[in-house]
Each structure stands twice: as structure tokens, then as C-alpha cells.
């Protein structure tokens, strides 16, 4: 992928700490005209607003795309069937934005553009972990072995690997010296947490509704 494309439409955390350094002169809102909206997308403030969305569609190379698509194929289909298409899309894009916010906070001094949908994929993994605890997934073990493993076990091992990555590349939140790394570990953790929380909240809401439905049933008339 073109470096210019990543620089223009990827997320650069330092731009949110020092907007003027990224060409943001102030808050500029677009008008309803299509031509004006197109011009606004090329302004510094337009990039600042749109990059959390556009970065989800950009990837560094085919390996980056391939691994994300593989995770989406393994975990996304079953989860979409379980919660529905609209809720799945809301979970996916919401997780991508939450993951981007986590990456910005923990790498606020970094001027390196960040791209990829890994945070959104992590949200799918976290939601699958919570919503489908009895599912199994076919997992690759080098060099050529494939084994079915419980999906929750895979989720635990995966999130543990993300925390290990954070430990090896530790950065204090809001640290101006944080430069980040080639992998957005905190984006992965933030996305996973969002997906798990969303499914926990849904389950809790459903249980409350069930209890309310039971409580609202009329008592039978005893002795009739």
C-alpha cells in the first residue's frame, strides 16, 4: 500500500495532542453541498475526524488483510448468526473506533500512521468469547498441524499474547515520548474488551427482561 495513503488516512495519535502540527487550523464543519464536503475531507480537521473510520479499511500488505479476513471468517459468521447482521455491524465498527481510541491514548506522542481493522476483529473475537462459550475452532499449530480447540481457550491465549506484547513495549498512557510499535497492542485489547462488554451487557439486559416477564405474569387463582 502507498505510504502517502497511510499517512493521509491512517490514524496519527500525535495529531490529537498537537492538532496544529498536522495542519489543523481550527474546527471546520462541512456544508451540505457535495463539492464542499469533498473539499472538507482534504482539510486537516477533516482528516482528524475521518481517519478513525478510513484507517479501518487500509492495511499494510496482503498478509495483514489475510490474517484479519481469516479471523473474521472463523469467528464472524457464527457470531453474526447469533446476534443478527445489524448488531454485528454495530459491534464491528464500534469496536474499531474504541480500539482506535485506546491506541491513541496509549501512544499519544506517536506520529506513525496506524492502519488496519485488527481492533474491530478483536471486538468480534471478544464478543464470540463471551456469547459462544461452548464453541470450538480449528486452530493451526506449526508446522502443519490443525487441532480443534475450545473457542474460549483460544480467546484467553490470544488476549494473553496481547498483554505480553504490551509488557514488552510498555508505554504509559498520555506519555509524550511514546512512539508505539509495529503492532497496536492496546487497540487489540480495547477492541476485545469492547466486544466482551457488549455481549455481557446484552446478556444482562436479556436476563433482566426475562425476570420482568416472569414477575409481570398474573398469579393463578388458587382454590378454583
**Mean pLDDT lowest for which of 5-9, 12-16, 31-35, 136-140?**
31-35
Going from N- to C-terminal start, the domains of the chain cover: 59-212
Cell of 73: 471468517
For residues 120 and 188, is the Cβ–Cβ distance under 8 A?
no
For residues 203 and 133, is the Cβ–Cβ distance under 8 A?
no
3-class DSSP state of 186: helix
Mean pLDDT over 12-33 rounds to 83
> Tens digits of per-residue pLDDT, 64-114?
999 999 999 999 999 999 999 999 999 999 999 999 999 999 999 899 999
For residues 1 and 64, is the Cβ–Cβ distance under 8 A?
no
Question: What does each C-alpha distance from 191 to 96, 147, 171, 186 come to in angstroms?
Answer: 6, 26, 18, 8
CA-CA distance, 121 to 107, in Å (whole number)?
A: 20
Higher-confidence residue of 182 and 161: namely 161
pTM of the predicted model as reported, rounded to 2 decimal places: 0.82
Peptide bond into 143 cis (omega under 30): yes
Reported confidence tier of residue 222, pLDDT bands at 50, 70, 90: very low
Amino acid at each position: 500500500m502507498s505510504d502517502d495513503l497511510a499517512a493521509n488516512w491512517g490514524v496519527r495519535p500525535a495529531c490529537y495532542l498537537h492538532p496544529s502540527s498536522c495542519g489543523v487550523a481550527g474546527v471546520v464543519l462541512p456544508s451540505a453541498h457535495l463539492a464542499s464536503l469533498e473539499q472538507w475531507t482534504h482539510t486537516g480537521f477533516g482528516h482528524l475526524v475521518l481517519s478513525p473510520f478510513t484507517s479501518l479499511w487500509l492495511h499494510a500488505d496482503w498478509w495483514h488483510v489475510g490474517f484479519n479476513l481469516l479471523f473474521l471468517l472463523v469467528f464472524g459468521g457464527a457470531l453474526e448468526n447469533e446476534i443478527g447482521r445489524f448488531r454485528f455491524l454495530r459491534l464491528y465498527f464500534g469496536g474499531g473506533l474504541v480500539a482506535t481510541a485506546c491506541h491513541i491514548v496509549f501512544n499519544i506522542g506517536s506520529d506513525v500512521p496506524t492502519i488496519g481493522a485488527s481492533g474491530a476483529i478483536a471486538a468480534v473475537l471478544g464478543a464470540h468469547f463471551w456469547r459462544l462459550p461452548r464453541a470450538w475452532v480449528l486452530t493451526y499449530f506449526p508446522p502443519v498441524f490443525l487441532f480443534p480447540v475450545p473457542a474460549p481457550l483460544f480467546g484467553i491465549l490470544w488476549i494473553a499474547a496481547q498483554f505480553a506484547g504490551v509488557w514488552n513495549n510498555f508505554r504509559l498512557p498520555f506519555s509524550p515520548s511514546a512512539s508505539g510499535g509495529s503492532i497496536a497492542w492496546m487497540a487489540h485489547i480495547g477492541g476485545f474488551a469492547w466486544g466482551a462488554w457488549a455481549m455481557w451487557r446484552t446478556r444482562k439486559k436479556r436476563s433482566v427482561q426475562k425476570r420482568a416477564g416472569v414477575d409481570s405474569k398474573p398469579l393463578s387463582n388458587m382454590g378454583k
